[in-house]
Amino acid sequence: MKIALVTDAWSPQVNGVVRTLQTTVALLRQRGHEVMVISPDLFRSFPCPTYPEIRLALAGRGAVGKRLARFAPDAIHISTEGPLGWAARGWCLARKLPFTTAYHTQFPEYLARRTGMEARWFWPFIRRFHGPSAAIMVATGTIRAQLLEHGLFRVQPWTRGVDTAQFAPDHPPPDLFFTLPRPIQLYVGRVAVEKNIEAFLETSHSGSKVVVGDGPALADLRTRYPEAHFLGSRSGEALTACYAGADVFVFPSRTDTFGLVMIEALACGTPVAAYPVPGPLDVLDPKSGVMDDNLDEAIAGALTLDRADCLAHGRSFDWDKSVDQFLANLAPVSRRTDPARMVPATA
């Protein structure tokens, strides 16, 4: 199958959406599918305000449409609600071609945190973007229920997996961890306001707090919380070592749709402390994590869990199952489609 994937989130960005898409593309290609990725690196772009590491493509319907037309895909998946996503959506609608979308990011909640406006004001944008989609792929049942509540009904599951070859408990911890007071409490992810990292850094549990990741809030948090240890971005074995060497993984976000970092930590045997919100509610079970509106209580409870149980739960998330779901959700472009509808757009 020839699959076109249109995304505004791609390398060199480092986040759960990019890791999900890159892993999915790699596994699709391993299965023999031909995948074309339309991403910001193919076009002129500019830095996103307040997120300079995120590039927004200067590409309209015509530029995106020409690439889609030349590729002549059997299915089109639009993964993000950015400029490329909107351009591909418009091109497909103009030609009455089916496409699927994914709801990776809680944009209403993110924008509410950044603007001070209520999240409900941003839901019309989400409904308009995803409304024509043949299938809206979501990672959890909680997010599915949320979209249904907001009038989006063609919702299909697309779960996540973990690379158990990389994320495993037998990696030695970083040298720094041997010098830190235990328990070591770890956060991994983007260092940005919507991740609610302050809630973690303000907890009072004894031990050490470690933050792995980069983002626009890093300099400010380093200044405000000098007792915490900010290690910057890490990947590969260096990242796995942090997960495996920590005593508890703390996930303070209230706005994620899944939280891939949680299952990466679990696959290293590290229990999770989180709020009882979408993402943790779907990912964790009583043996792998503790959810509490008091994050100190969640940390204390998670530290009592059996790491073997955490490991078993983390390894239950499978990328092959995820790819099976993705393929089943796609909306094939009919071979009876008039070829004229695939001609390059001019506007």
Whether residues 31 and 119 share a domain: the answer is: yes
Whether residues 142 and 186 share a domain: the answer is: no
Whether residues 116 and 239 share a domain: the answer is: no
Helix (H, G, I), strand (E, B), or coil: what is residue 283? helix
Indicate if the pLDDT at residue 272 is higher than 90: yes
**C-alpha torsion 58→60→65→67, nearest 10:** -10
Percent of the chain scored above 90 by pLDDT? 84
What DSSP line would sit under 12-67, residue for residue?
Answer: T--SHHHHHHHHHHHHHHHTT-EEEEE-GGGS-EEEETTEEEEEEE---HHHHHHH
Please report the pLDDT score of residue 271 as a whole number: 98
Whether residues 55 and 202 share a domain: the answer is: no
pLDDT in tens, 169-226: 999 999 999 999 999 999 999 999 889 999 999 999 999 999 999 999 999 999 999 9
**C-alpha torsion 286→322→87→3, nearest 10:** 180
C-alpha dihedral sign at 247, 248, 249, 252: negative
Whether residues 313 and 188 share a domain: the answer is: yes
List residues bridging with 5 in a β-sheet.
37, 77
User: Does the predicted TM-score (pTM) go above 0.85?
Assistant: yes
Whether residues 218 and 117 share a domain: the answer is: no
Rounded CA gap, 273 and 300, in Å? 8
Whether residues 66 and 189 share a domain: the answer is: no
CATH of the domain at 244: 3.40.50.2000
Whether residues 39 and 111 share a domain: the answer is: yes
Whether residues 79 and 108 share a domain: the answer is: yes
Domain count, the chain: 2
**Contact between 196 and 277 (Cβ < 8 Å):** no
Q: Which domain holds residue 21?
A: 2-161+321-342
Whether residues 147 and 195 share a domain: the answer is: no
- Confidence band (pLDDT; 50, 70, 90) for 115? confident
Whether residues 10 and 138 share a domain: the answer is: yes
First to last CA, the chain: 28
Please report the pLDDT score of residue 48 as a whole number: 76
In a domain, residue 287? The reply is yes
